[in-house]
Amino acid sequence: MTEIVIVLSTAHAAALGSVRTFPGLLAARSGEEIWVRGIPAGKPDKKISVLPVMHTYFMDEQERLFAPAAQTPVAMLPALEWIPLLSFIKVTLPVSALPGVLEAPQRVKLVRRNGNVIIPGNDALLTSLEIWDTYVSTAPLVRLQHLYFAVSENREALIIGTPIMPLPGKTYILGDNILLPAGYDFDPPAITSLVTTTLNPLHDGILLFHENGHWEKIKFDCFVPATRSAVRLTNSMI
């Protein structure tokens, strides 16, 4: 096999920032997936190993894709617009920002879920920057390595990833690049796909909804990895 190919969800685009300077990596977008090729066959770098990957393939010289340990190919490498990962992930300062896009006139109604509906685990937390900074300053690094955050001008921190820590604030559930308050759903629930295509047609960010139906769009490149230095720098600049 000549190289390794990985596939990530666009919701985890920010995670690629940690490997964007690795030589030879190419990336391309396909719907709500990001494909990355050019990873040397063998044992990949640790930073690549911890990426939130959906699929991993080994590719031969004919660009046939093999599942790990498989002897027969499962697919061919898709014909995508491959560009260097360095260009795919734009350079940003290690400071978080949450510049919510002003909402359009459309108003969406949210209602509480029925009591018999199973609610999945929390995927995001909205809390104050002060609480977030205090937690990060003493938290074990292993608890932070799969978390990303963005901060608004009013010093609210949106943390996304797993595991979400038990801090004061509002919790949200992520689905189709939409964050809904825990315990809430659209009214009616079937409008989820319509909301996505109408308010986020480029699939280049996350829609954050509040209980009153107000929403804001946060682009993926506004999120940065949850490192102590990034949180300190953000806190000093906002």
Q: Specify the amino acid at residue 139.
A: A
Rg of the chain's alpha carbons, rounded to an integer?
Answer: 19
Is 99 among the domain residues?
no
| Mean pLDDT computed over every residue of the chain | 83
Tell me how far apart the alpha carbons of residues 220 and 130 are, in angstroms, rounded to a whole number.
23
Are 50 and 139 in a shared domain? Answer: no
Is 93 among the domain residues?
no
pLDDT tens digits for range 33-58: 999 999 998 888 888 888 899 999 99
pLDDT tens digits for range 80-126: 999 998 788 764 434 444 555 444 445 678 888 765 444 445 689 99
**For strand 205-209 and strand 178-181, is the pairing parallel, antiparallel, or unpaired?**
parallel
Is 21 among the domain residues?
yes
Are 121 and 227 in a shared domain? Answer: yes
Instruction: Tell me how many domains the chain contains.
Output: 2
In a 3-state reduction of DSSP, which class is residue 102?
coil
Domain that holds residue 207: 110-237
Are 116 and 82 in a shared domain? Answer: no
Domain boundary among 88, 120, 153: 88
Are 121 and 46 in a shared domain? Answer: no
Secondary structure element (H or E) that encloses residue 27, with its range:
strand 26-30
Omega prior to 163 cis, within 30 of 0: yes
Please give the backbone phi and psi of residue 131, each rounded to the nearest 5 degrees, phi first. Answer: -65, -45
In a 3-state reduction of DSSP, which class is residue 163?
coil
Is 143 among the domain residues?
yes
